[in-house]
Amino acid sequence: MTYQHSKSFERLKGINESITGNLTSLQYLQTLDMFLWRSIEPIHAECPSLFNNYLAKVVANQSLRASTKFSSDDRSKLPILLFNLLSEPDPKKAHEHAKSMHINRGILFGFVSMFLNKLRHYKKLHDPFTTMDDVYRRSEIYRVEQEMGVRQGGSLYAAMQQAQYWDEMARDFKGKILQKYTRMSLMNAKLTYADYNHYVKLDDVVQIYLMTADRAIDRCDARQGVLTTFIQNWFKSARSEVADLAKSQTDQSYEALAEEHGDAVSDIIGFSIADTSSELEQHVAYVAKQMDRLGYTRGPLHIPEFCTKEQMALLESLAVD
């Protein structure tokens, strides 16, 4: 496979960063959190049961899905913090308890999106240019407010407007943070693209890396490290995702190479399929490949899942027409 030029890649390389100065990770993330929690605050104040039920489901899912971490803090604290939230009569203190749970930003963004999507019909009901029977309009407004769990005397429409304003601010600022890491994402994506011999389209690799950086921003806690380092660590998962994608498009297993290049491949990899003394080794390698996609077991066995460019060139030179 050869390098394929990408116009999208070139456009992204020339991106202009909206934030020209260099802020610290704490400044970036605290500002983002300020916008995000301001979008949640009116929802929590006017529809407390909606927000509390949502966090209760998050905590329940965390207990059921131990492999996924929904909080940047110690997950064992979540039930205690949830209890403090639900038992606190003071709305402002309850809101602080919610913040102390350190729920991943992606989950919180999802809650605000869910809230606003549920109120699309409600927003139309308040539109003076929407023609409908007044009795029906009032009954529908009341129905939606009851469904959303609006507190007595609360204003759902005002909460919706405030949440939408601050949500837009939060998403815009998150986009500006992502701009700061776009070039780093492109550099890593291009290296991975070359390492896997261009089997996956460059645009797809770039998309994977940018989405990974976006998720890393959602999960980074400035108390636990620098944002740049955190994103770089997450790029390991992006590389694995590209590897899985490349694997689905090409089979560079030992068997395929041996079929294509003959016995010469054994000189490179280290043993031949015809060698009966290596049957146990082959079996272990097969099981390792199924159970260990990252290659921690296959590596010591010297059975590469993908060939490097140098190995491919050597195989081509040994191939017999």
Lowest-confidence segment of 268-277, 279-288, 308-317 by average pLDDT: 268-277
Q: What is the mean pLDDT of residues 144-151?
A: 95
d(CA 245, CA 267): 28
pLDDT value for 105: 96
What pLDDT score was predicted for residue 102?
Answer: 95
| Statement: residue 301 has pLDDT above 70 | no
Which CB contacts under 8 angstroms, 24+ apart, belong to 140-144?
144/119
The amino acid occupying position 92 is K
Flag whether pLDDT at 8 surpasses 50.
yes
Sequence-distant (≥ 6) Cβ neighbours of residue 216 within 8 angstroms = 227, 230, 231, 233, 234
Q: Find the length of the chain.
A: 321
pLDDT digits (tens, 9 = 90+) for 86-122: 999 999 999 999 999 999 999 999 999 999 999 999 9
**What pLDDT sits at residue 21?**
83
**Cα atoms in the Cβ-side hemisphere of radius 13 Å centred on 194:** 6
Q: What is the mean pLDDT of residues 32-58?
A: 96
Q: Residue 25 corresponds to which amino acid?
A: S
Residue 254 tokens read as: 């030992």
Burial class (CB in 10 A: 0-12, 13-18, 19+), 138: exposed
pLDDT of residue 231: 95
CA-based nearest residue to 102, from 2, 273, 8, 219: 219
